[in-house]
Chain A
Amino acid sequence: MVRDYLRREAVFFVSSAIILFFIAIGAARPDLLDALSSAIHTAILDHFSWLYLISSFFFLLFAVGLALSKFGTIKLGHDAERPQYSFFGWIAMLFAAGMGIGLLFWGVSEPLIHYLQSPPFLTPETPAAAEFAMTYAFFHWGIHPWAIYTVVSLSIAYFSFRRGMPALISSCLYPVLGGRIYGPAGNLVDVLAVFATVFGTATSLGFGALQIHSGFTHLYGISSAISVTIGLIIIATALFMASAILGVEKGVQILSKINIILACALLLFLLALGPTPYLFNIFSSTLGGYINNIIDLSLQSYPFAGNEWSREWTVFYWAWWISWSPFVGLFIARISRGRTIREFVLTVLTVPPLFTFLWFSVFGGSALYLEQMPGVDLAAIAGNDVSFVLFVFLEHYPFSALLSLIAIFLLIVFFITSADSATVVLSSLTSGGSMIVPLYKKVFWALALSTVAIILLITGGLSALQVMAIMAAFPFMIVMILLCYTLTIGLAQESVRQ
């Protein structure tokens, strides 16, 4: 009986043991953790940074290929099923799940940093550097992340809704593993998904906490010590743990909707009060450049000059999206039941990226506009403290204190909703795909997420967060390539099945 229990709970025990081991090393020997993670991270980047680029481009081609193929008409569910959510509601949830904190964190700072610290083949702070900065901001936040999510969510949706299997990553590998998905091989795949989700989400929570702290420091002058950031994480943990345990799904949904409306309002406010035609020009020309150069951007690693830059930015982003993909993929799959593959892929690859492009045009474009004004040096601030620059940027608008408060509110709600969803997803992944999970698992994963974020912030701050995202994504990237293969097998068998 005990043996059966251990076998059934293998994914939970193994993944929790790995996370606890990581936390223990981080708490006892942060220097050792830093050295170890840096060594693995360097090895991955030295040998496989190209693989991140090629795989992400392949995921994009795969997703588009599926949508345009004869498989595009296959429904993610039974043939007679209808979508559960309205189109607008679906889009809003897609967007909230896929980006959230990241847009606020990087919306202003990323274009500014590229502008100030461009790769060696570009002269910083020139029009060419500005164009490069905007193009790469579009590229990093454009259709590639959504293609990565699409691969995971399509696989989960297809194998669970259409093939009646549990909503687990291991279920999607049945065509190659067969009955072994119920044994160590399947467990390993689910453990990798848990590992990626914990570190991917912890990275985002770390970013969020840093920026919330910066906001409070900017507004109220509170201490910028790391202990305050940790305190903020502990408070937010109490909130999202309560939300996950009490199952206040409706409350979270309402908060998410309010967040989307507030984010849109903030965007429109900045667009209206900023240099509107200039921002639309940036949107239009950057979009053109992005579309025109998408193949080059996708595969470009600047091996002769700028490879380091490519690793620090593009590879980090691809790894981050991959590490988020089990969590976001499961969530998107759940809300997309009843839609066809074509509708799913084409919507996911167009609507959220278009909104993101507009976001970066407004936030990043306005920041670049302000940067060119005498006496404004946003780029230098972004170079020193990425999390701080948003609030300095908002100072240049009317009602800046209110805008900063809104930004902090957005960050807190994104933090809570993301962490709440991640807790539920992690609990489900470690409970055989069931949505009814024991309380202790929710508590464990909620605490684990926050503790990992705290440990990472203590050991190395922002760079430690980035290192862990890249490390956690690597094994899952291999799983994703397998997912493409098994999904193709499953779809090719549709005629046999019928």
Chain B
Amino acid sequence: MFEKTLVPVASGERPGELSKIGFILKSLGSGSVCLFHVNEAASFFRGSDLSWLGPLAQALEDAGLSVETKTGNGHIASAIAEAALMEGADAVYMKAKRRWHLETMFLGSVSRDLLRLSDVPVFVHKLRPRLPDEEDRLGREDLIVLYATDFDAASVRPLPSVMEFQGARCHVLHVRGRMADPATERRRKEAVDRELHAVEEDLRPYFGWVTSEQRIGNPGAEVLRVSEQVSADIIVLGRKTPAFFSVPMGDTAERVVNESKASIFLVPHPGTPDGS
């Protein structure tokens, strides 16, 4: 899942931070990293000097990863998305910065565009799981994964990725609207329960503890609520075709990515207008 990971970087990144990212990627099973920088329109101060990429690559190599450095041009998010595809990356890793709380809570436009445009899964690292110290490693045995699904094609697609995360616990969440009458609601609830149990069975070999629940309400709000209730480290979501009136990325995914304290692993759905 993270065998080859593309890590976009910008000028000003600190090698110490990259080192921690290296450890976490390593513990998630990554072997190689493509360090990628997009040259913005000519910078008066920086010019075309890319020597600052060297220490960053070194920090990742020190974490035990093989590193290649690439650069691109043009619209930043499009260039990253294209590079991820061209380089055969399994995922794109993005760190939501911690230096300013606001930046953690609300992603910048580049990140939002990337989440919308990328054809490979995107991992947005937020407050949880905590970045390990140099001598620590992220312990898979403590990892709690929340898998949010509504059983359509887009949200079933991340299932293999959920399995690969492994960890202590996986909580499967199905959020839906209420049906229009009590009899249909009862039938729907029973059908969803059956499907949730089937998913639980699929995931049981990979996690110490697998639970599931279905909720009625707003998907974004419920995913965020449950994520805090189970102290999820990672929320796995499928990216759906956005509704006509929604913002380009789709309401639920955008809200979860913006507001969650847990990291998000967003899997695109190939063949859809924004995922093909």
Instruction: Tell me the A residues contacting B by CB distance below 8 Å.
Output: 159, 163-165, 174-176, 178-179, 486, 489-490, 493, 496-497
Does A496 lie within 8 Å of B179, measured CB to CB?
yes
Beta-carbon contacts of B175-186 to A below 8 Å, as 1s and 0s? 001111111110
Does A159 lie within 8 Å of B181, measured CB to CB?
yes
Does B181 lie within 8 Å of A486, measured CB to CB?
no
How large, as a class, is the contact surface on chain B?
10 to 19
Does B188 lie within 8 Å of A496, measured CB to CB?
yes
Does B178 lie within 8 Å of A175, measured CB to CB?
yes
Within B169-228, the residues touching A (CB, 8 Å) are 177-185, 188, 216
- A159 partner residues in chain B, CB cutoff 8 A: 180-181
Interchain nearest-CB distance for A38 vs B (Å) = 41
Does A174 lie within 8 Å of B182, measured CB to CB?
yes
Interchain nearest-CB distance for A62 vs B (Å) = 16
Bound-state Cα–Cα, A493 to B188, Å: 11
Does A178 lie within 8 Å of B183, measured CB to CB?
no
Most buried by B among A176, A486, A493: A493
- B183 partner residues in chain A, CB cutoff 8 A: 163-164
Does A489 lie within 8 Å of B180, measured CB to CB?
yes
| Closest chain A residue to B177, Cβ basis | A489
Cross-chain pairs A/B with CB under 8 angstroms, 10 sampled: A164-B181, A164-B183, A165-B181, A174-B182, A174-B185, A175-B179, A175-B180, A489-B178, A493-B177, A497-B184
**Shortest beta-carbon contacts, A-B, top 4:** A490-B180, A163-B181, A175-B180, A175-B178
Does A175 lie within 8 Å of B182, measured CB to CB?
no
Q: Interface residues of B: mostly helix, strand, loop or mixed?
A: mixed
Q: Interface residues of A: mostly helix, strand, loop or mixed?
A: helix
Does A175 lie within 8 Å of B184, measured CB to CB?
no
| Closest chain A residue to B182, Cβ basis | A174
- A164 partner residues in chain B, CB cutoff 8 A: 181, 183
Bound-state Cα–Cα, A477 to B113, Å: 41
**A-B contact sample (20 more), CB < 8 A, given A163-B183, A165-B182, A174-B178:** A159-B180, A163-B181, A163-B184, A165-B181, A174-B180, A174-B185, A175-B179, A176-B178, A178-B185, A178-B216, A179-B182, A489-B177, A490-B180, A493-B177, A493-B184, A496-B179, A496-B184, A496-B188, A497-B179, A497-B180
Most buried by A among B177, B180, B183, B216: B180
Interchain nearest-CB distance for A175 vs B (Å) = 5
Bound-state Cα–Cα, A496 to B187, Å: 11
| Closest chain B residue to A497, Cβ basis | B184
Bound-state Cα–Cα, A251 to B185, Å: 42
Bound-state Cα–Cα, A496 to B188, Å: 9
Interchain nearest-CB distance for A230 vs B (Å) = 46
Does A486 lie within 8 Å of B216, measured CB to CB?
no
- B181 partner residues in chain A, CB cutoff 8 A: 159, 163-165, 174, 490
- A165 partner residues in chain B, CB cutoff 8 A: 181-182
| Set B180, B182, B216: member contacting A493, Cβ < 8 A | B180
Bound-state Cα–Cα, A178 to B181, Å: 8
Bound-state Cα–Cα, A176 to B216, Å: 10
| Set B180, B188, B216: member contacting A163, Cβ < 8 A | B180
